[in-house]
Structures are given as structure tokens and as C-alpha cells.
Amino acid sequence: MAVQIRIVLLLLVASLIVGAQARHTKAKIRRDDRSLILVAQPFGFGNDGRMNLTVSNFQLWKTGTGPKTSKTSGYHRIGFFITTPAAEAQLELDLAEGRCPLDAQNDPSRQGLALTLFTFDAVEVNTDKKKGSTRKDFKLNELIENYQGGEFSLFFANCEPYSAIDFDVEAALFNVRGDRVDFLAVGDDMLPFVYFLSFLLFTVLGVLWTLLVVRAKADAHKIHYLMIVLVAFKSLTVLSQAFMYHTISVSGDAEGWNIAFYVFTGCRSLLFFVVIILLATGWSYMKPFISAREKKLLMVVIPLQAIANVAIIYLDEFTPAAESWFTWRDILHVVDIVCCCLVLFPIVWSIKQLRDASETDGKVVRTLVKLTLFRQFYIMVVVYIYFTRIIVYLLESTLPFQLIWLAAAASEAATLAFYVAAGVAFRPMPAGANPYFQLTEEEAIELTKAEQEENP
């Protein structure tokens, strides 16, 4: 059962990875007794895919008995291998049954599951941490017969029982395209173009929305200006993503653009949830205040989003080889889903309030118009969240690795469509033509009384 849970978590996290950010992977492993360690996420290699591994400060420890100093004993069952994402679950099962992934290529019944790069009995092992490192260079077309490219994950395996290991590893996965080294995986090489095109589209949308708000200034509300800021942060987010992936492609490192991306996406995420909640509660449209219940929701959702974004920044400094990497990925996924669910509550509350009002209020027609519009907005938000949180992840996990960029393109297209639809529904209009017209003085007094009764 424990092994099955690990497999499910592994597959879940793999499905949440938004493109393999191909960069130099560095990890420090200390007294780690795991049998299997994911060093580098699935990476799409082309016809001239290559890999460099540098290992230093290696030390094998017998659990509870101190360091093992022999240069040969046990080292043939410790090393690095690559495998396809589809074979990872089977390797976990093999490991649970006592079979070592490093032996897979020598077993006719298991060939194709894993390709051993090297074991430590075949290299100079550094027992003295000051003696330097061991470097290995690999060309996949020389390792794999009839190689035509493919997607592979890099793993470290320790099949020596009752042992733990220390080592430092630096891995560089890349493709050679003509006379240029490209550190972006096949399938991710279109991302700079996708995100830069998204930047242009969101910038045009922001300019058009700003002109619309300025021209209809007399009918504009505070929420319209807040939506301008939201679109601006979205544009800056995709622009920083475009530059981030471009610099990764050239040098293998984001060179600071990842920090800009995290700052902009953090601000955009927080503002997005604020705007959705304010629209859902009719703030500045139907009523001039936010109820205590809605304020409490804002106080929950915004800190959760802030924590999630800080955690993403912190997590990005580590590799999957870190022992707590999968745990943090699961936590971030749960926080994201919780925030998405919470943002639906104000819409449900508004719909319920309008339904109750339609049964008791004499202005039934006007109330039913509001109810219909809020139902449409609710469906729109649900479809957007479902598509970007589930459908996009399914695309990432099912598309061929050469077309993985289509998942990012679909996500940006869905976001653009959602922004346009929300803008059309909540655009500035004269009070007489606006279905979310301002409350009359009588209705405002009734709502104020209701709030006072709710919070005496």
C-alpha cells in the first residue's frame, strides 16, 4: 500500500509540472537512505540530446555502523540511470520487490525500463571530500540503439541494503541544434514565442480596456480601474516568462528573470482573486460595501495565495532530489485548489441572496436579471478554473513531449478568453443600461440593516 501511495504521488506531481525548466540541476544529498532519487524532471531530448553529470564528495554509509571505506563492495549496485516517464511506475514496483533498476537493461524481461549511465564501481569514488569530482558526458544517440529522440528522467538508485549515501551532483541536460547548445527541452522550445505572443495580446487587451474606461469615465467604478491593474500585471507576468525561458534556452539558467516572474505572478494571483471576489459580491455595482463574511473570506484567500507564492519561490531553489520536494509540491497543489474553491463561495452567496430576494421582493424582474447574470458569471469562473487546473494538467501529461507547449498555449488562451468575457459582462455602462445598476436608497438601507443583524 505504501508503494502504491508513492506511485500515485509521483504521478500526481509529474502531472503538475508546468514544462521542464531545463537548467543546470544542482543537489546536495546528505545521509539519504532512499533507494530511488529523482535528480532531474522529465526532459525532451532531440536527435542530438546530451547529458553531463558531475558527482563529488561521494560517501557510502552502512546504516548504524559508520562509514564504509571499501572502494568496491556494494558500489556496483549504486549509480545513475535514465528512464521514460511511462516506465517510472513499473520501476517503483520492481524496487519494492527487491529488483534493482540498475540491472534492468541486463534482464531480457525488463529491457527498455531503464538505461544505466554508470555505477560507482566503474568510476573513481571520492572518499576524501577534498579530492575533486567525477565527470561523465553522455550522447544519447551513442547509448541507445536506433535513437530518434525521446523524453527521459534522470534518477539515482541505491540498491545496497541498510545503507545511506552522501554526494553532490550537478546535471546539465541539453540539446545541440546545429552549432548552438539549447538548454530547453524539445516541446519547451516554443515557450518563449508562446509567452511573448501572450504578452502582446494581453497588452492590446489592457490598452483597449483602459481606453474604454477612460471614455466611459462617468460610468466607471473602482473595480474597472482595478481590472486595468490586473491586466497590466498579467502582461508583465507573461513577458517575464518569455525572457526567462529565452535565457534558460541560451545559458541554462534564468539569470534573475525567474525572480521577476515570481514577483509579477504573485501580484497577479493575489489581484485576480480579489477582483473575482469583488465582482462576485457586486462590490461597487450592487452595493457600496463588502459584508463581514466576504471580508473574512478575503482575509483567508489572500494570505493563502501569498504563502503559496512564497513557497514556490523557495521550492524553485531546490531540485526534485531534495527529500521534501514532493511534499512541498503536494502542499502547494492543495493550497491552490483550496483557494480556487473558496473564490466560488461569494458567487454562491450572491446567487442565494438574489434567489431569496426574488421570492420576497416586489421588484422580481430586476432581481431575476441580476440572478441570471450571476449564474452566468459563476459558470464562467467554474469553467475557467476547471480548464486551467485540470484540463491543462491532463494535456501536459498526455500530449507527446514534442507538443507539450500546447498546454501552456491553451492555458494562456483560456485566461485571455476569461478576461475578455469578464470585461464584456462588467464593462462600464450608464446606470439605466447596466444590469448591475446601483441600489436605490431603499435597497441600500435594507442591506445595511441585514448586515447589522448579521454582525450585531
What's the rounded mean pLDDT across residues 273-286?
73
pLDDT at 134: 83
| Helix boundaries (H) for 181-221 | 191-215
Q: How far apart, in whole angstroms, are the C-alpha atoms of residue 372 and residue 390? A: 27
The answer to whether 391 and 400 are in contact (CB under 8 A) is no
The answer to whether 104 and 94 are in contact (CB under 8 A) is yes
Degrees, nearest 5: CA angle 152-156-162: 150
Q: What are phi and psi of 220, to 5 degrees?
A: -80, 150
pLDDT at 361: 58
pLDDT band at 321 (very low <50, low <70, confident <90, very high): low
Provide the grid cell at 52: 553531463
Secondary structure of residue 270 in the 3-state scheme? helix
Q: Which of 73-77, 129-133, 438-442 has the highest mean pLDDT?
A: 73-77
Secondary structure of residue 402 in the 3-state scheme? helix
Exposure class string for 106-115: b at 16+ Cβ within 10 A, else e:
eeeebeebbb
pLDDT at 21: 44
User: Which residues, 6 or more positions from 59, have their beta carbon under 8 angstroms from its beta carbon?
Assistant: 67, 127, 129, 165, 166, 167
Domains, the chain: 22-182 (no CATH), 191-454 (1.20.1070)
pLDDT band at 246 (very low <50, low <70, confident <90, very high): very high
Nearest to 177 by CA among 4, 69, 45: 45
The model's pLDDT over 186-228, given as tens digits with 9 standing for 90+, comes to: 999 999 999 999 999 999 999 999 999 999 888 888 889 999 9
Strand 150-158 versus strand 163-177 pairing type: unpaired
Q: How many CB atoms lie within 10 A of CB 440?
A: 11
Strand 66-67 versus strand 180-182 pairing type: unpaired
The answer to whether 11 and 92 are in contact (CB under 8 A) is no
User: Which residues, 6 or more positions from 323, have their beta carbon under 8 angstroms from its beta carbon?
Assistant: 32, 34
Q: How far apart, in whole angstroms, are the C-alpha atoms of residue 324 and residue 334? A: 16
* DSSP bridge pairs for 164: 61
Distances (CA, A) of 404 to 129, 157, 345, 391: 41, 28, 33, 13
With a cut of 50, say whether residue 11 has pLDDT above it: no
Instruction: Give the residue, 35 or 338, on which the prediction is more confident.
Output: 35
H or E stretch at 141: helix 140-143
| Helix boundaries (H) for 219-256 | 222-251
Exposure class string for 257-289: b at 16+ Cβ within 10 A, else e:
bbebbbbbbbbbbbbbbbbbbbbbbbbbbbbee
Strand 133-139 versus strand 49-62 pairing type: antiparallel
pLDDT at 417: 96
